[in-house]
Chains A and B, each alone.
Chain A
């Protein structure tokens, strides 16, 4: 059984649905030979010949993950946390802000940092085909939730050190404003902090 999941975002991920449909059309996967289960969330189209569920209760979902031969999932935190523990081949397809699949490109950025740890990522339908021909399981040392937590801790430390007045400067008089002014810097540092943790 192959499980395809796009999570519960309110944005559709029709691009992935179309790719799965093409994979079936070209018989790279065949629902007549192997069951294909799709959790389609907010998608407005579904691939041909699959078993489709809009959302799956957490228990059912975990049971399907346990049963699946391999999993194709969107690059969302929750899915990755679950798949990292599942111990079977999975490939992640990042939602993209440019195609209106999420608010921004954070899934693409996450995908890039995971790709550096050899996690299979599909940016194109061809990537999915190549993964299906040779599925691999890659263990990730830290799942997104863990390193988001670490990142926010680091950021918090940054905040503390940045807003601690070293001398009586004009900035120290208005610590609140100063921290607001620095927010841009902290946000810019997020990717750097991530790579520190995930390295």
Chain B
């Protein structure tokens, strides 16, 4: 076993190819005595789906724990921007000097993306909806800001890094509904959900006004900004935190094949009844299968009625 190993990455790196390559990579991580570095040769790769990104992220973290450096060779511009947008390049160093290669496969891989991501009409609905939503948010902003400020010290808005489409990281915005140092206190709160997902019915970090904002879902309104910028959509998958994604199985990464949404399949299917992460994934994948503009519009309508009815599932 030499100090550096070269791994040739496939043309498409999706769930099927992960299964093929995982055995070899797992073996390499055991070679911590001699192995110093793994070079990923991306010369032929022109598509990585969200499972692939989730898998690479976990492999990078495992390699870091094992003290093995990672290097990426001959990335195409698209793959490079994906690795940068998903922050994989903080573990996997991209060698820019190996980029100039003659590619034999120059197929268009747009058709490998989920149709909802390619849909111009969906994006148009998102922009219109975001502008309407931001108008409402602007009206609410002053009273909500005063209420938040009066109860507890700290900022009006809360922001956090989340995983979006194909594992790209983005900063999500909400009205702050917890105490300002909530993330530091998270380890003191018990997780009541099985799997890579955090939920607690009576989280003590939630403020009084925060409870009201959550009950009415008003805390989510600043996300219309995320919709406008294109990181999110009105309808999609729930945007997971980076910690959650770090625990994903590759197949669970598939839920990131669509953009994260303000609302989605599971938000309107009784949000509090869902107690198992696999159920969340199943609902997300069902959304991907059923997706159509009409389906989206129905979910938006359902969300509005749920919001306006008293039986809002948020706690």
Is there a chain A Cβ closer than 8 Å to B13's Cβ?
no
Residues of chain A with a CB closer than 8 A to B100's CB: 15, 99
Is there a chain A Cβ closer than 8 Å to B74's Cβ?
yes
Among candidates B2, B3, B8, residue contacting A130 with C-beta atoms closer than 8 Å = B8
Evaluate contact between B8 and A123: CB separation under 8 angstroms: no
- Nearest-CB residue, chain A, relative to B101: A124
Is there a chain B Cβ closer than 8 Å to A193's Cβ?
no
- Nearest-CB residue, chain A, relative to B6: A129
Evaluate contact between A126 and B43: CB separation under 8 angstroms: yes
Evaluate contact between A27 and B8: CB separation under 8 angstroms: no
Complex CA–CA separation, A123 to B3 (angstroms): 24
Is there a chain B Cβ closer than 8 Å to A46's Cβ?
no
B203 to A: closest C-beta gap in Å: 49
Residues of chain A with a CB closer than 8 A to B98's CB: 18-19, 22, 124-125
Evaluate contact between A126 and B102: CB separation under 8 angstroms: no
A195 to B: closest C-beta gap in Å: 17
Q: Which of A26, A28, A98, A127 has the most CB of B within 10 A?
A: A26
Which residues of A85-129 have CB atoms within 8 Å of chain B's CB atoms? Answer: 94, 96, 98-99, 108, 123-127, 129
Complex CA–CA separation, A130 to B43 (angstroms): 13
Residues of chain A with a CB closer than 8 A to B41's CB: 124-126, 129
A75 to B: closest C-beta gap in Å: 11
Evaluate contact between A126 and B8: CB separation under 8 angstroms: yes
B224 to A: closest C-beta gap in Å: 44
Evaluate contact between B2 and A27: CB separation under 8 angstroms: yes
Which residues of A1-30 have CB atoms within 8 Å of chain B's CB atoms? Answer: 15, 18-19, 22, 26-28
Evaluate contact between B6 and A108: CB separation under 8 angstroms: no
Among candidates A94, A99, A124, residue contacting B43 with C-beta atoms closer than 8 Å = A124
Is there a chain A Cβ closer than 8 Å to B4's Cβ?
yes
Complex CA–CA separation, A64 to B178 (angstroms): 74
Q: Mark A49-84, 1 if CB is under 8 A from B, else 0.
A: 000000000000000000000000000000000000
Is there a chain A Cβ closer than 8 Å to B251's Cβ?
no
Interface residues on A, range: 10 to 19
Which residues of B129-187 have CB atoms within 8 Å of chain A's CB atoms? Answer: none
Complex CA–CA separation, A113 to B95 (angstroms): 30
Complex CA–CA separation, A27 to B1 (angstroms): 12
Is there a chain A Cβ closer than 8 Å to B235's Cβ?
no
Residues of chain A with a CB closer than 8 A to B102's CB: 94, 96, 98, 108, 123-124
Interface size, chain B (Cβ < 8 Å)? 20
Residues of chain A with a CB closer than 8 A to B97's CB: 18, 22
Evaluate contact between A126 and B104: CB separation under 8 angstroms: no
A126-B95 in contact given A94-B102, A96-B102, A108-B102 (Cβ < 8 Å): no
Is there a chain A Cβ closer than 8 Å to B39's Cβ?
yes
Complex CA–CA separation, A58 to B100 (angstroms): 31
Residues of chain B with a CB closer than 8 A to A19's CB: 98
Evaluate contact between A28 and B6: CB separation under 8 angstroms: yes
Residues of chain B with a CB closer than 8 A to A123's CB: 43, 101-104
Complex CA–CA separation, A126 to B2 (angstroms): 16
Evaluate contact between A125 and B4: CB separation under 8 angstroms: no
Is there a chain A Cβ closer than 8 Å to B73's Cβ?
yes
Complex CA–CA separation, A37 to B213 (angstroms): 71
Residues of chain A with a CB closer than 8 A to B39's CB: 26, 126, 129
Complex CA–CA separation, A22 to B6 (angstroms): 12
Is there a chain A Cβ closer than 8 Å to B37's Cβ?
yes
Evaluate contact between A124 and B74: CB separation under 8 angstroms: yes
Complex CA–CA separation, A108 to B106 (angstroms): 15
Evaluate contact between B101 and A27: CB separation under 8 angstroms: no
Residues of B within 8 A of A (CB): 2-4, 6, 8, 37, 39, 41, 43, 71, 73-74, 95, 97-98, 100-104
Top-7 shortest CB links A-B: A126-B41, A124-B43, A124-B101, A26-B4, A123-B102, A129-B6, A124-B74
A126-B41, A126-B73 provided; 12 other pairs, C-beta below 8 A?
A18-B97, A27-B2, A98-B102, A123-B43, A123-B101, A123-B103, A123-B104, A124-B41, A124-B98, A124-B102, A126-B74, A129-B41
Report 6 cross-chain contacts, Cβ distance below 8 Å, ordered by A residue. A22-B97, A22-B98, A26-B71, A27-B4, A94-B102, A99-B100
